[in-house]
Amino acid sequence: MKTRGAVIRQAPGKYEVVNLELDDPRQGELRVRMVASGLCHSDDHVATGDIPVGVYPFAGGHEGGGIVDAVGPNTPGFAEGDKVVFSFLPGCGRCRWCATGHQNLCDLGAGLLAGARWNDPTSYRLHLEDGSPVGQMCGISTFCEYTTVAVDSAVKVAEDTPLEKACLLGCSVGTGWGSAVNTGEVRPGDTVIVAGVGGIGANAVQGAAHAGAANVIAVDPVAFKREAAESLGATHTVASIPEAGELARSFTNGQGADVAIVTIGVTKGEHVAEAFSGVRKQGTVVVTGLGNVTEVGLPIAISELTLLEKKLKGSLFGSSNPSADIPRLLELYRAGHLKLDELVTTEYSLDEVARGYEDMHAGKNIRGVIRY
């Protein structure tokens, strides 16, 4: 069928809305009419070239929800009209990682940025009108009015789910919340630093608060972000990571934070090093943010790692199991414990995607969301 979507033709570049040809669903696939998509910073990394992808043009978007419009032949488990939230990481259910409760690390993730079908790497679900292939971000491309995806990427949610908010569960909420609760293992009474209050960091703040942290110190150079963090559970806010480290030491008899979570838009080695200095002996630094993927090296003293037994952990989708955790977080939202409505600061049309990213750079949004 014909559809429209926002693509990057080359990197660095800007998202541009074009006409597209979309494949009908094959066996094991669904076609979905998109309802809403969040504007995550990772799609901006694709635009700047910080994250190179397998093929250009490349259709962006990996945080979305929609309504199943067609189900591939012999594809059980889904019906037309079902509401789904996509997981930006697929879960096959069979690999070592899926089988041991680490669905975020499913082996299918290896094909995430190639843009083609995971099981058929020269086959693309999207094409330009002239027939040239268009890559799909994370196999889903939520910046399209319609998209065809593997069932591994779709999590069915209840009929009354407000997808214009629940779309955030497809990346930012699980990533941020899980960075605190799962990867960081925040405990009641902890002192936690969250560096960078965007879509991811806002949810790390919520996760740390849910896990019972006594002090949640949110860091962001933008005043509006610091105010938003306070309404999401931050007990203190500062403009830089070194200030947060100082504050954490003042609460802990000079020791430092138990956990520091780095969710900065363009994460650099020095941000990780600053967070590393802010945690106590045996403290944990969780690195969730991404930057230029070719950059190597962290300016950290090996002695600080060795002698103070500090821990440094990466976090992908908050070390979550999306098939279980997307419904679980939705329950927290329904029960009034998890804030989603407050995270959506501006809604955009598909044609306004590039403006949405300008607003991200200007620090105007916690999360911008495209409404179809």
Ligand X SMILES: NC(=O)c1ccc[n+]([C@@H]2O[C@H](COP(=O)([O-])OP(=O)(O)OC[C@H]3O[C@@H](n4cnc5c(N)ncnc54)[C@H](O)[C@@H]3O)[C@@H](O)[C@H]2O)c1
Q: Which residues bind ligand X (CB under 6 A)?
A: 40-42, 45, 171, 175, 195-201, 219-222, 225, 241, 263-265, 267, 271, 288-290, 315-317, 360, 363
State in angstroms the smallest separation of the CB of 1 from ligand X.
29
Contact residue for Zn ion among 171, 193, 217, 262 (CB under 5 A): 171
Judged by beta carbon, residue 201 or residue 207, the one nearer ligand X is 201
Q: Which residues in the 39-58 window bind Zn ion by CB under 5 A? A: 40, 42
**Taking CB positions, which residue lies at the least distance from ligand X?**
198
**Alpha helices, DSSP H only, in 22-83?**
41-48
Q: Which residues in the 181-200 window bind Zn ion by CB under 5 A? A: none
Interface with Zn ion, residue 30, by CB under 5 A: no
The item of Zn ion, ligand X, none sharing an interface with residue 92, based on CB under 5 to 8 Å by kind, is Zn ion
Nearest residue to 196 (alpha-carbon basis) of 224, 164, 218: 218
25 DSSP assignment: P
State in angstroms the smallest separation of the CB of 280 from Zn ion.
30
Return the SS3 of 147. Answer: strand
State in angstroms the smallest separation of the CB of 7 from ligand X.
19
Q: 370 with 143: CB under 8 angstroms? A: yes
Interface with Zn ion, residue 106, by CB under 5 A: yes
Cα(179)–Cα(280) distance, integer angstroms: 18
Interface with Zn ion, residue 85, by CB under 5 A: no
Cα(54)–Cα(18) distance, integer angstroms: 19
Q: 133 with 9: CB under 8 angstroms? A: no
State in angstroms the smallest separation of the CB of 10 from Zn ion.
22
Judged by beta carbon, residue 37 or residue 148, the one nearer Zn ion is 37
Return the SS3 of 257. Answer: strand
CA 271, 277, 279, 285 dihedral sign is positive
Cα(344)–Cα(347) distance, integer angstroms: 7
Contact residues for Zn ion, defined by CB under 5 A: 40, 42, 92, 95, 98, 106, 171
